[in-house]
């Protein structure tokens, strides 16, 4: 296996370079330069160029490595596979909302072993490697230890697909709004998870995501002491189909709620 701490330091440089490119393009993209993948999924040359920068840098770091990428620059799994989201929060970026991120994870033989998330506009880098702890800009981070749900600020996201049954989602949302300190939806799942890892949010839950949305955050949250699962308390969260992350007590509370409201057959 590659030396994870050294590899992580090199990935940080690549993510920082990519973040600098994205920040330089903020506010410059014209409407005619935006592609509509579907009603709530937009892409621009910034997403594509950012992905190219990541793929080029990471390919040189581990020659022969595979990639799972949002914009399909490369889609090939190998012993070492990078899972990347070049711009998580594209809609925020295109609408001038300064909340979006770059997310990179490294998988070794189907196990996630390294994660880096860059908060582009705040110049914060969150990162972790297996067994090494989690960090933000050189400082060790941990999930919030609060166990009283009434004191918690919870993050989530909205499912967009027209076929998605939103009734259980709104029921869950109402419960959290009534019982927690606050509920937030900022538009970048990767940053939501990074903010759970450093204790700003007490928990994050969402459904209908993809692997590249959550892979980097999974490693960071695990190393920060977080408990992760899918909505049923199982281990399918790495696909992004559903995910909950929090400390052990708050995680259990949220899993009990999602089991009540969501039916995954």
What is residue 37's predicted lDDT score, i.e. its pLDDT? Answer: 66
Coil, strand or helix at 128:
strand
Mean pLDDT for the stretch of residues 225-246: 96
1, pLDDT greater than 90: no
Question: What's the CATH class of domain 4-140?
Answer: alpha beta
Q: Smallest Cα–Cα separation from 231: which of 201, 210, 252?
A: 252
**Across 3-12, 73-82, 242-251, least confident range:** 73-82
Helices (H) and strands (E) in the chain, counts: 7, 15
- What gap in Å lies between CA 169 and CA 154, rounded to an integer? 14
Mean pLDDT for the stretch of residues 202-219: 96
Q: Domain limits of the chain?
A: 4-140, 149-261
- What gap in Å lies between CA 65 and CA 48, rounded to an integer? 20
217, pLDDT greater than 90: yes
H-helix segments, 224-247? none
Q: Which two tokens stand for residue 250?
A: 């708050």
- The dihedral formed by the CA atoms of 42, 47, 49 and 53, expressed in degrees to the nearest 10: -160
Q: Which of 34-43, 44-53, 189-198 has the highest mean pLDDT?
A: 189-198
Does residue 101 contact residue 190 with C-beta atoms inside 8 Å? yes
- What gap in Å lies between CA 250 and CA 237, rounded to an integer? 17
224, pLDDT greater than 90: yes
Question: Would you place residue 32 in the very low, low, confident or very high pLDDT band (cuts 50, 70, 90)?
Answer: confident
User: What's the first-to-final CA gap in the chain, in angstroms?
Assistant: 38
CA 106 remoteness from chain centre: 13
What sign for the dihedral angle of Cα 226, 230, 236, 239? negative
**Could you read off the pLDDT of 11-24 as tens digits, one per residue?**
999 999 999 999 99
Would you identify the CATH topology of the domain 149-261?
Answer: D-Maltodextrin-Binding Protein; domain 2 (3.40.190)
What are the residues facing 76 on neighbouring strands? 67
Enter the DSSP assignment of 156: E
Mean pLDDT for the stretch of residues 198-204: 98
CA 122 remoteness from chain centre: 16
**Could you read off the pLDDT of 97-155 as tens digits, one per residue?**
999 999 999 999 999 999 999 999 999 999 999 999 999 999 999 999 999 999 999 99
């Amino acid at each position: 296996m590659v030396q994870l701490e050294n590899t992580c330091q090199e990935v940080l440089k690549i993510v920082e370079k990519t973040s600098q490119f994205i920040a330089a393009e903020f506010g410059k993209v014209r409407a005619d330069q935006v592609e509509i993948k579907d009603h709530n999924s937009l892409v621009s040359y910034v997403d594509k160029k950012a992905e190219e920068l990541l793929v080029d840098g990471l390919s040189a770091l581990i020659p022969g490595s595979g990639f799972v990428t949002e914009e399909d620059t490369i889609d090939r799994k190998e012993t070492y596979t990078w899972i990347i989201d070049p711009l998580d929060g594209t809609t925020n970026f295109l609408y001038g909302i300064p909340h979006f991120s770059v997310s990179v994870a490294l998988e070794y033989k189907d196990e996630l072993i390294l994660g880096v998330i860059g908060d582009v506009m705040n110049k914060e880098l969150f990162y972790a490697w297996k067994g090494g702890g989690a960090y933000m800009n050189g400082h060790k981070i941990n999930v919030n230890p609060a166990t009283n749900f009434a004191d918690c600020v919870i993050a989530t996201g909205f499912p967009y697909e027209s076929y998605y049954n939103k009734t259980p989602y709104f029921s869950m949302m109402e419960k959290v709004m009534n019982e927690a300190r606050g509920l937030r939806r900022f538009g970048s799942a990767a940053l939501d998870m990074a903010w759970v890892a450093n204790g700003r949010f007490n928990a994050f839950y969402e459904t209908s995501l993809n692997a590249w949305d959550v892979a980097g955050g999974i490693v960071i949250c695990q190393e920060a002491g977080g408990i992760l699962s899918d909505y049923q308390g199982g281990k399918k969260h790495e696909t992004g189909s559903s995910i909950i992350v929090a400390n052990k007590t708050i995680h259990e509370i949220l899993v009990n709620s999602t089991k009540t409201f969501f039916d995954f057959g």
